[in-house]
Amino acid sequence: MWEIYAYQNADSLFGIFNAAATIHGSGDYMAAVAAVAFCGFIAALVAYAFAPEKLQGWKWLATVLLVFSVLIVPRVTVGVVDKTGGSAVKVVANVPFGVAFLGSVTSTVGHTLTGLFETAFQVIPGVGALPSELSYEKNGLMFGNRLIRETGGVAFQDPNFRTDLVNFIHNCTMYDLIDGTVDPGTFSSSDDVWALMASPNPARFTTLTSAGGSITVDTCPNAYTNLNGRIPAQLTRIQGKLAFQLNPTLPAAAANAAIAGQIQQAYLKNSIATAAATAADLIRQNAVLNAINDTSNIIGQKVNDPAAMVLAVGRAQSVAQQNAAWLNAGKVAEQALPVFRNVIEAITYALFPLLVLLMLLTSGRETMLAFKGYAAVLIWIQLWPPLYAVLNYMASIYAAYDLAAAADLGSGAKALSLQTASTIYSRAISGEAVVGYLAISIPFIAWAALNRTKRARARGAANMAYFRPNWSAGARAPRPHWPIRKTLAPARRPPGPTRSASASSNANCSARRRRWPRPLRFWSSQKKSRRSSTRERTNDRPRRSPGADPRHPRRACRRCAPEARLRNRRHRPAHAAALAGRWRPRQRRWAAAGRASAPRACALRSRAAAGAGGGQRAALCRRTAGAHRADAGR
């Protein structure tokens, strides 16, 4: 069974593979395959008829055989493994081997890399360790911040209980703060305000709502006792709601069992609470703090104070506007994996039947490029989870310091209190917003890494070919991808007629009129690119040696009369024999030979009367000698 790992999209992948198996097994799809194969056969036949040496028909036939025998005909079983939901493996039978193989290999590699990163992050000693409850592979990006944000906005769900609590705070607790029964400083910095509200003034009264909806009046101590007995059921209800919100893919029992440890680890990692605080204590503290804020907002309405109402509305609007942009960006980080990545992955798997049809119209290299492009998309998608795991770890470590600073009471102690609750909530959503912007860059980073890897591999192969030592004697190594400035010393001028007797010059006279050999094909194609500047030495060969033509007297003999056009040209050391002068290293050019030297005796002069055309040759040499003397006179 070929396993494909899913991140919050096990159900969608299960449906996609079921659809792929159904499509490939239907008669309509096979009819479409036959029609496309017939069109490809006609095109290959026509191409082979016009150019049989290119073997287009045989290439197409081999491609069709490979596509059918490897990608379509073999059928395997695929198992979709849910890494976040914890559900059982979903098995799909009769899936084509091609899509199953590519999906399983790329998914396994991505899952393995992600698991290795997550395991390494959990065993780091000190504050750098990341709890498993906050790992990316289980719960996505910035799960700790999402827990703090969601628990920071909880409220009691029962309207009667919430009304009784708001009345108790207004009628009992606020007057206790005014007359000093409860110390305001201690109350604002306490991490358990509900315990401080346990001893109100018995001379004060508040209203209570019974189960049948009737309203009674009782003393504040009795009202606190009544509320304290009803609050555990409210906390259980809130905790169950958080479990479904934060773990949507888990079953109900598993979500309720996991939420308690997740909330505790989130507050403990960010130094907002101590290890002694349970999930119920943290939920109760957040709910009571929100009830206190609600009481201060609606008190103006109860006492008919317009100024207090305007102040409360303005403060609520400013907080909402400030958090709106952060919440929108935080949703990008929250839904980057389950929406964007999973949709692209599902579309890629769904395109496999269409890919098979397109591959039947290609052959040879084009087929391999199409298959390579499809595989590259799957590899690109599977690069996201490892990169997201690294981003989640770095962002969680940064958020831990940021939220710990927000929970500081000023004395070094850190707690979730009335003073710090608003700051902690704002820092949590702002951290999610920053990570949301960074999460957008992960697909581009993965694509750039994939493309750079392919380019580096191709460039490395070309460079290794350039440095290969076993080149033949007459061939040149291919030009590398980077510019190389050759600074080798020029070769010494080979011995020629100027250093030998006239007899050797006479013996080589026929070779002087020999033309240069035809340049290599790849060398001639690079000729324009190598001649980039007239001030730099080029790597091209000089023009062919002129023949002994009477109409061009100055081109009669290369060794007797250097060509005027080649005097100031600069060439590579490999072509030093083309010039008669010596290399001047300071001026970085070849000196023109015969400029200040006396004319040399031409061997042809002694053979003026020998053979047909000897007089013309003698006259040609006399004119050449005169050119030498004219150059020397200048």
pLDDT, tens digit, 9 for 90 and up, residues 418-427: 888 888 888 8
Task: For residues 120 and 140, state if they share a domain.
Answer: no
Domain boundary among 86, 108, 128: 128
Number of domains in the chain: 2
Scan for tokens 């559900």, then name that residue.
Answer: 87
Residue at 142 is within a domain? yes
Closest CA to 258 of 111, 390, 147, 403: 147
Among 21-30, 403-412, 493-502, the least confident range:
493-502
- Asked, for residue 195, whether it belongs to a domain, the answer is yes
Candidate ranges 66-70, 169-173, 538-542, 625-629; pick with highest mean pLDDT: 169-173
pLDDT at site 226: 92
d(CA 582, CA 490): 9
Residue, of 573 and 414, whose pLDDT is higher: 414
Question: What span, in angstroms and rounded, lies between the C-alpha atoms of 383 and 120?
Answer: 18
* Range with lowest mean pLDDT among 210-214, 247-251, 482-486: 482-486
Please compute the mean of the pLDDT values over residues 588-611 and round it to a whole number. 48
Q: If you average pLDDT over residues 222-228, what whole number do you get?
A: 93
Considering 363-377, 387-401, 581-595, 597-611, the range whose residues carry the highest mean pLDDT is 387-401
Provide mean pLDDT across the span 132-150: 86
Q: pLDDT tens for residues 191-200?
A: 899 999 998 9
More confident residue, 371 or 336: 371
pLDDT exceeds 80 at position 405: yes
Q: Tell me, letter by letter, the H, E, C secondary structure of 372-403.
A: HHHHHHHHHHHCHHHHHHHHHHHHHHHHHHHH
**Per-residue pLDDT averaged across 156-166, rounded?**
91
As a whole number, mean pLDDT of residues 506-531 equals 45
User: What residue type is 286 in one-letter code?
Assistant: N
pLDDT of residue 459: 59
pLDDT value at residue 584:
65
Q: Is the pLDDT of residue 549 over 80?
A: no
Question: Does some domain include residue 361?
Answer: no
**Residue pair 375/104 in contact by the 8 Å Cβ criterion:** no
- What number is the average pLDDT over the span 594-612? 45
342-365 pLDDT per residue, tens: 888 889 998 888 888 888 888 778
Structural domain contains residue 264? yes
Label residue 161 by pLDDT band (50, 70, 90). very high
Q: Determine the average pLDDT of the residues in 598-614.
A: 45
Whether residues 65 and 146 fall in one domain: no
Cβ of 506: how many Cβ atoms within 10 Å?
Answer: 15
Do 319 and 401 belong to one domain? yes
Does residue 97 sit in the same domain as residue 115? yes
In a domain, 148, yes or no: yes
Amino acid 220: pLDDT: 93
Is 515 part of any domain?
A: no
* pLDDT score, position 302: 67
Does residue 146 sit in the same domain as residue 82?
A: no
Is the predicted pLDDT of residue 303 greater than 70, yes or no?
A: no
Instruction: Judge whether 343 lies within some domain.
Output: no
Scored b (16 or more CB within 10 A) or e, 463-485 reads eeeeeeeeeeeeeeeebeeeeee
What are 482's strand-pairing partners? none
Between residues 311 and 110, which one has the greater pLDDT?
A: 110
| pLDDT tens-place string over residues 35-56 | 888 888 888 788 777 777 666 7
Residue 79, C-beta contacts closer than 8 angstroms, at least 6 positions apart? 1, 2, 3, 4, 89, 90, 91, 92
* 400, 270 contact by CB (below 8 A): yes
**598 CB-side CA count, 13 A:** 2
The answer on 227 and 124 residing in a single domain is no
| Residue that has been written with the tokens 């860059």 in this structure | 441
Range with lowest mean pLDDT among 76-90, 96-110, 268-282: 76-90
The pLDDT of residue 329: 67
Half-sphere exposure at residue 442, Cβ-oriented, CA atoms within 13 angstroms: 25
As a whole number, mean pLDDT of residues 99-122 equals 90
Position 526 scores a pLDDT of 44
Claim to verify: residue 292 and residue 330 sit in the same structural domain: yes
Residue 547 near residue 513 (C-beta atoms within 8 A) = yes
Q: Tell me, yes or no, whether 116 and 151 share the same domain.
A: no
Q: Which of 437, 460, 483 is the last residue of a domain?
A: 460
What is the C-alpha to C-alpha distance for residues 396 and 444, in angstroms, rounded to an integer?
22
Within this chain, do residues 79 and 91 fall inside the same structural domain, yes or no? yes
Q: Which pLDDT band, with edges at 50, 70 and 90, does 305 fall under?
A: low
* Token reading at 307: 């100024």
- If one counts every other C-beta atom within 10 angstroms of the C-beta of residue 443, the result is 18
Q: Do both 162 and 27 map to the same domain? A: no
- Region at 611 (left for phi over 0; alpha for psi -120 to 50; beta for the rest): left
Of the pLDDT bands very low, low, confident and very high (cuts 50, 70, 90), residue 499 is: very low
pLDDT at 50: 77
Give the pLDDT score at 473: 42
Question: What does the pLDDT read at residue 165?
Answer: 93
Tokens representing residue 297 in the block: 């907002």
Same domain (yes/no): 47, 104: yes
Residues 139 and 94 in one domain: no
Q: Which of 412, 438, 460 is the last residue of a domain?
A: 460
Task: For residues 404-426, give the mean pLDDT.
Answer: 87
Name which residue leads in pLDDT, 490 or 381.
Answer: 381
* Domain carrying residue 95: 2-128
**What share of the chain has pLDDT > 70, as a percent?**
65
pLDDT in tens, 228-262: 999 999 999 999 999 988 888 788 888 888 898 89
pLDDT band at 436 (very low <50, low <70, confident <90, very high): confident
Question: What's the pLDDT band for 289 if we cut at 50, 70, 90?
Answer: very high
69-77 long-range contacts (CB < 8 A, ≥24 apart) are 70/97, 70/98, 71/96, 71/97, 71/98, 71/356, 71/359, 72/24, 72/33, 72/96, 72/97, 72/98, 72/356, 73/97, 75/21, 75/24, 76/1, 76/2, 76/100, 76/101, 77/1, 77/2
Cα 291 to Cα 158: distance, rounded to the nearest angstrom? 13
Query: What single letter denotes the amino acid at residue 51?
Result: A
d(CA 32, CA 104): 27
The per-residue pLDDT for 233 is 93
Beta-carbon neighbour count of residue 263 at 10 Å?
A: 29
Q: For residue 77, give both structure tokens.
A: 């079983």
What pLDDT does 128 receive? 83
Average pLDDT over residues 403-410: 88
pLDDT exceeds cutoff 60 at 155 = yes
Q: Establish if 503 belongs to a structural domain.
A: no
- The chain-wide mean pLDDT, for the chain, equals 74
Helices marked H in 250-278 — which ranges? 252-269
